[in-house]
Structure 1
Amino acid sequence: MNKEKLLVIIGPTAVGKTKLSVSLAQRFNGEVISGDSMQIYRGMDIGTAKITPDEMQGVPHHLIDLREPWESFSVNEFQTLATDHITQINQRGRLPLLVGGTGLYVQSVTHQFQFAEDSRDEEVRQKWETYLQKHGREALHQALAQKDPIYAEQLHPNNTRRVIRALEIIETTGQSMAEYQGEWEKSSPYELAMVGLTMERQKLYERINHRVDLMIQDGLIEEVQRLLDEGVPVDCQSFSGIGYKEILGYLTGELEREEAIALLKRNTRRFAKRQHTWFRRMKDIQWFDVTALDRWEEHEQIIAEYVAGKFC
């Protein structure tokens, strides 16, 4: 049986994935599947750098605006939805492009992460909820760091829902999160082409800083205030995302405006570094350096030739 085709475009934030994905989708009769864990939320547009209808240029996009900001969303759900879309797009005779910067989400699809059976214990969860109320977010996060320091590094203390979930799993199963979550398939089930975009670090950081300035100019602070006015809880999953937790700190009086903006820039740069580390561990990626932005059309042509060689 022939494998389903899948083109993947990955790379750190602000490197140019969105622009490239639209161009390649137009060349290869494609449809884009967002691999971004934050763009699934409705009304969270500026802080997620969500593609606009004009930027889509008529290319169908999937897995955007699926959930309300107060709803939860898991990598398991993403894997199921993305896999279904890949099949449907192939059946339409078109090429699916999985595009994004959330490494776990992308890799859960490309190499079919196998999830362990769920484990719930209401009593244990309530114990840690009480601990949070008594001791605060930092102490809760430190409790996780003592039990599973590797996983704790991946979670911000504000993301109390996931911290408590991790503590619940560790206590009920005796396993670290890495042990509990399952394992990757060694080979992909897809006829796969993986394009990785990279850029000289200082240039990328300049683009990140400029993007944040544009987000503030375009109304990021007002977007977060609107979400608060609509009653979105400050401890929900969506508010733990970069761009929202920092502005939330300003609006709740924990930070000055310029402090929040500087923190957002710093956290985004650090996120880009973590993305790079994650993607460098993944196999089968063909990397393209796009530092020379004045040669973007040339970059696009070279990448298009690589994709054509993989699928045509």
Structure 2
Amino acid sequence: MKKVIAIVGPTAVGKSALGLKLAQKFDSEIISGDSMQIYRHLDIGTAKDSPKELQEVPHHLVNICDPDQRYTVKNFQEKARQIINELNTQKKIPFVVGGTGFYLSSLINNLNLGGEMKANKEIRQRLLKIEEDEGLGRLQEILKVDDPKAFEKIDIENPRRLMRAIEVYQTTGKSIVEQENGNKWADFYLIGLTDNRPKLYERINQRVDKMVKLGLVDEAKYVFDHRDIFIQSKNAIGYKELFPYFEEKASLESCLSEIKKNSRHFAKRQFTYFRNQMDVDWYNISNDNNYQKTIEEKIEKFIGGYHG
């Protein structure tokens, strides 16, 4: 069976740094699970590895789209699975690093994402009207009643995914997260990094401050100037919070505080999802000084006598 290692956890905890070290040690390659690092020219706000780091270890699904292109969970699922198969054929165990819980869940569980079902325009228009009149909360309520399984699995903060899940269920009577088959297609070892909350929040604040020094405001202005066509990328944390500053409706300081706050909330949601929905081997980076050595030993055991 195919083998894959995934490194998960809240934002700013150090997943990318660990992924680089492990991929180098085990002579492997990295698959980014991030929905925004796919975009060219958006480097700082998406927390991409540096050009030097991207060269040190081969990275996949980074810089593969222009910012005005649409990229779906299904795109990720299909591309990542193809890369995993290719690397396993080369006797390499790929490292999937970062990303949202639903992205990883779609890959691990081979979820049927409803990609073959044509859009139901009548339902879609009705849901768009509900979102406009009653807000995101009402869509969440509808999905929770219609399809509680999907409500637990998908990103319910994303209105597009909410509407698609409701549309699939109301059109087909089946959950959007229903598995295509019961066969396990690959063996995944999930490594989770976490930290004590005060320290994690401090890491997040420091990351935002570093991004500002690297040029985050200019990059966000580029997104703001193209917001009519950068439909998905404009909603990334780190960009959208600065729009009021460019519109002269808020100070830069208040907008940066909003980025930090939203990043902290996102980190909490990430950890909750992975903890509740997936079988993760967790390591607290502050409480365990030897966590990397322990992880390496467990990877050795996981790989065993694997021959692709």
SS of the aligned residue for 1:48 comes to: coil
Distance (Å, rounded) in 1 between the aligned partners of 2:127 and 2:106: 29
Paired residue type of 1:221: V
- Select the residue among 205, 213, 235 that pairs with 1:209: 205
Match of 1:5 in 2: 3
Structure 2 residue aligned with 1:64, among 51, 62, 68?
A: 62
Report runs of 4+ in structure 1 exceeding 6 Å deviation. 184-187
| CA deviations over 1:179-215 (Å, ceiling 9, x no partner) | 3342487774223322111111111010001111111
Q: Please, what is the CA RMSD of the aligned residues?
A: 2.9
Q: Is the 8 A contact 2:140 2:156 kept in 1?
A: no
Please, what TM-score do these two structures have when normalized by structure 1? 0.83
Aligned residue for 2:18? 20
Deviation at 1:97, TM superposition (A): 0.6
Q: What's the % identity of the aligned pairs?
A: 37
Tell me the distance in 1 between the aligned counterparts of 2:180 and 2:253: 42
* Equivalence map 1:160-309=2 (5 Å): 161-162=160-161, 165=164, 168-169=167-168, 172=171, 179-183=175-179, 188-229=184-225, 231-233=226-228, 236-291=231-286, 295=289, 298-309=290-301
Q: Is the 8 A contact 1:119 1:172 kept in 2?
A: no
CA shift, 1:57, in A, is 5.3
- Could you say what secondary structure the match of 2:56 adopts? coil
Match of 1:80 in 2: 78
Per the TM alignment, residue 94 of structure 1 is displaced from its structure 2 partner at its CA by 1.8
Q: Kindly tell me the number of residue pairs found equivalent between the two proteins.
A: 297
- Counterparts in 2 of 1:185 and 1:197: CA distance versus 1, 3 Å: farther
Where 2:193 maps in the other structure, the secondary structure is: strand
Counterpart CA distance in 2 for 1:185 and 1:271 is 31
**Aligned residue in 2 for 1:120:** 119
Aligned 8 A contact 1:137 1:160 in 2: no
Residues 3 and 93 in structure 2, CA contact (< 8 A), matched pair in contact too: yes
Gaps (5+ residues) in structure 2? none
Q: Is the 8 A contact 1:111 1:185 kept in 2?
A: no
What's 1:35 paired with? 33
One-letter amino acid matched to 2:200: L
Once the 2 structures are TM-superposed, how far is the Cα of residue 107 of structure 1 from its aligned partner? 1.8
Report the alpha carbon displacement of residue 227 of structure 1 after superposing the two structures with TM: 2.7
* Structure 1 unaligned blocks of 5 or more: none
Q: Say if 1:155 and 1:285 are closer, same or farther in 2 by CA, change over 3 A.
A: closer
Mean CA deviation greater in 180-189 or 252-261: 180-189
Cα distance change of structure 1 residues 55 and 261 upon mapping to structure 2, 3 Å threshold: same
Closer/same/farther in 2, CA of residues 257 and 119 from structure 1, 3 Å limit: same
> What residue identity is the alignment partner of 1:300?
Q
Match of 2:42 in 1: 44
Asked if 2 retains the 8 angstrom alpha-carbon contact of 1:90 and 1:96, the reply is yes
Structure 1 residues 167 and 81, CA gap change in structure 2 (3 angstroms): same
